[in-house]
Chain A
Amino acid sequence: MIRFQAVHKSYRVDGRDVPALHAFDLDIADGEVFGIIGHSGAGKSTLIRLINLLERPSGGHILVDGTDMTTLSDAQLREKRQRIGMIFQHFNLLASQTVAENVAFPLRLAGERDAATIRHRVDELLARVGLSAHADKFPSQLSGGQKQRVGIARALANRPSILLCDEATSALDPQTTAAVLDLLAEINRELKLTIVLITHEMDVVRRVCDRVAVLDAGTIVESGAVADVFLHPKHSTTRRFVNEALPEEAAGEQAPFVNVPGRILRLSFRGEATWTPALGRVARETDVDFNILAGRIDRIKDLPYGQLTVAMQGARVDDALASLRQAGIEIEEITTPSPENRA
């Protein structure tokens, strides 16, 4: 459990305090993948660094598994940090050391001296990230995705309970990003590790996160389960992120369908509801016509979802809506149609 209590952070610039993060509370539960999304300069780098105290808060408390990080001595803090893994956008591997030596480094820092023990653990870690064949290579001989896998192996070396990911996929191409995210999800499942990741890509949040906080200009403007935030974004910043994650044609749903006759509604299907033929059934039962204007079907982590923007026409639209709600479909009215368009 990571708990922020009234934490805030300002930097001193030219004798003035410039706030980077306004006071906030946040709980991150054990074993969840928690995403923090924000534009550059929103304060997400600062926020993630507060957890292992690479940044000291200007006020408030940060509790990691019940320990108040802000009260630890230097030696205690170093020991605690060994149990909090971290990976970085630019990997930050030791260029002068081989892959195996890079992974062994945190073990040595933690005081492990026995060469056989180190060798064994390094082999195990490299096997987990699929880099056993590259143990004796140097980072410069690896691709970006391979470097990040070394970063992950290194972060896991001391069996941490928390893994911090600082824009871990931002320097990678889409395929490599997907592979690294899959690896993170696998680690989260198998090692029951809490993962906190910061990103500026909603797609990263959608693929791996359980919960998300949206950061805008040093303030958490929205947070909650990814499905809730993703399907029903409330803050304008969140809406921008959600739209970025959509293919271009789907993003068109934000455009007003003023010339489309009927009531314009957004229907959200989650989980099992995604696979039911609800629209067809309701259309038959109520004699309402559906005109699909935009839509998508995808997954949020392991949850299938669908979101359709439809225009509904017919005498019994309200009955149709009630029937859809009963089928577990969430409905939002997007536009109030003009009187002449009302069916």
Chain B
Amino acid sequence: MSSPLQSLFPNIDDWSEIGRACIDTVLMLGGSLLLTVVIGLPLGVLLYLTGKGQLRAMPKLYGILSLVVNILRSIPFIILMIVLMPLTYVLVGTKLGIRGAIPPLVIGAAPFFARLVETALREVQRGVIEASQAMGASTWQIVRHVLLPEARGGLIAGTTVTAIALVGYTAMGGAIGAGGLGDLAYRYGYLSYKSDYMLVTVVLLIVLVQIVQMLGDRIVAHYTRHQ
């Protein structure tokens, strides 16, 4: 007795494994995205503020931050993950699974996100910042009440782009023990030639990216409806 599902995907006998992998991927994505924003947003604000001609221009600090960000961004993620393994172990006590994946995901994505934050903040009109200074706003007040709200469309769009990059990173992470959809695709699809596994994971990843993009676009549209 074979169901249509079985005839279509003859190698997949445990769909719950795919379900678990989906959940793992979403958890990795959610956790790493949250931490990426928590670390990347302040880093991006710092990059913006210390940049040339900005509110707190500090060429040396900006140079150092910029260099670190560029170095982290230029290492391919899969290599970054391997290089960071000892640090990962120190941070979360394991190199494997969702927990083991999150530190390298965050370290890989936060500099990327920080650059997007910096770019989004630079889009805020100088005149608006000057007006706030003229009103007696402190740098912190300008960041909190002017820069972040005025740039929120760009910040949300940047978060969406980062989330999608993270979907890709999680899939890569799967190859070296992070679990999730990437792990399934690698183990069954690549190492065991079970192409139906490959097909299902690819479709699920596409669906995930679509959902993230749609969600992001909707939030941006909502917040920029009057601008």
Binding site for B on A (CB under 8 A): 52, 54, 74, 77-82, 84, 86, 88, 90, 92-97, 105-106, 108-110, 138-141, 154, 158, 164
Contact = CB atoms under 8 A, between A and B. Distances in A.
Nearest to A87: B131
Interface string B98-127: 000000000000000000000000000101
Given A140-B226, A141-B226, A92 B135 contact: no
Contact of B131 (A82, A86, A97, A140): A86
7 cross-chain pairs, A with B, having the tightest CB-CB distances, nearest first: A138-B226, A92-B131, A81-B136, A82-B136, A92-B127, A78-B136, A86-B134
Contacts, number: 70
Given A92-B128, A109-B136, A109-B141, 11 more contacts: A80-B136, A81-B133, A88-B131, A92-B125, A92-B130, A95-B150, A95-B227, A97-B149, A106-B135, A109-B145, A138-B226
Nearest to B225: A138
8 contacts: A54-B130, A79-B136, A81-B135, A88-B127, A96-B226, A105-B132, A141-B226, A158-B135
A96 B136 contact: no
Interface string B144-170: 011001101000000000000000000
B135 A105 contact: yes
A54 B133 CA distance: 8
A93 B134 CA distance: 13
B110 to A, nearest CB: 25
Given A93-B128, A94-B149, A96-B150, A140 B134 contact: no
- Chain B binding surface, main DSSP class: helix
B192 interface: no
Interface residues of B, number: 21
Contacts of B135: 81-82, 86, 105-106, 109, 154, 158
Contacts of B223: 96
Nearest to B128: A92
Contacts of B125: 90, 92
Contacts of B149: 94, 96-97
A84 B136 CA distance: 9
B18 interface: no
Nearest to B131: A92
Interface of B: 125, 127-128, 130-138, 141, 145-146, 149-150, 152, 223, 226-227
Contacts of A95: 128, 150, 226-227
A84 B150 contact: no
A140 B227 contact: yes
B145 A108 contact: yes
A197 to B, nearest CB: 15
A105 B144 CA distance: 12
A90 B127 contact: yes
A183 to B, nearest CB: 19
A88 B125 CA distance: 13
A272 B185 CA distance: 94
Contact of B146 (A54, A78, A94): A94
Nearest to B223: A96
Nearest to A82: B136
Nearest to A77: B136
Contacts of A96: 149-150, 152, 223, 226-227
Contacts of B137: 78, 109
A18 to B, nearest CB: 17
B121 to A, nearest CB: 13
A92 B227 CA distance: 13
Nearest to A84: B134
Residue among B128, B131, B138, B223 having the largest count of chain A Cβ atoms under 10 Å: B131
A92 B127 CA distance: 5
A94 B137 CA distance: 14
Nearest to B135: A106
A154 B152 CA distance: 23
Given A88-B127, A97-B149, A78 B138 contact: yes
Nearest to B153: A96
A158 B135 CA distance: 9
Contacts of A93: 128, 131
Given A94-B146, A96-B152, A109-B141, A52 B134 contact: yes
Contacts of A77: 136
A108 B135 CA distance: 10
Contacts of B152: 96
A93 B149 CA distance: 12
B150 A94 contact: yes
B145 A105 contact: yes
Residue among A77, A79, A109, A154 having the largest count of chain B Cβ atoms under 10 Å: A109
A157 to B, nearest CB: 8
